[in-house]
Amino acid sequence: MQNKTYEDEGEVTEKDPSFSDKAYKRVVHYFQDELMAGTLKRGEKLPPERDLADQLGVGRNSVREALRTLSLLGFITSIQGAGNFVSCDVEINFFESIRMMMMMGEIDYRQLNQFRHGLEYEAVVLAARNITREQLEILESLVAQMQVETDAVKNVEMDRKFHQIVSQASGNQLIIITCQAMAKTINEFIGTMNQRMISHRRYGGKLRKFHQSIVTALREHNAKKAARAMDGHFKLVDDALEDLYFGHSEGK
Helix 109-130 × helix 173-199 angle, to 10°: 120
Q: Which of 234, 48, 36 is nearest to 123 (CA)?
A: 234
Q: How confident is the model at residue 10 (pLDDT cuts 50, 70, 90)?
A: very low
Tell me: pLDDT of 238 over 70: yes
Rounded CA-CA distance 96/244 in Å is 27
Most confident stretch, 4-8, 118-122, 174-178 = 118-122
Q: What domains sit in the chain, N to C, each tagged with a CATH number?
A: 4-88 (1.10.10.10), 92-246 (1.20.120.530)
pLDDT of residue 33: 82
- Cα distance between residue 87 and residue 71, in whole Å: 9
Alpha carbons 33 and 158: distance in angstroms, whole number: 39
**Other CB atoms within 10 Å distance of the CB of residue 127:** 30
DSSP state of 78: E
Pick the range with the lowest mean pLDDT from 19-33, 34-48, 139-153.
19-33
Q: Is the per-residue pLDDT at 7 higher than 70?
A: no
Partner residues linked to 4 by β-bridges:
13
| Distance in angstroms between the alpha carbons of the first and the last residue of the chain | 57
Adjacent-strand bridge partners of 86 = 76
Question: Can you give the pLDDT at residue 14?
Answer: 40
Residue 139 CA, distance from chain mean position? 20
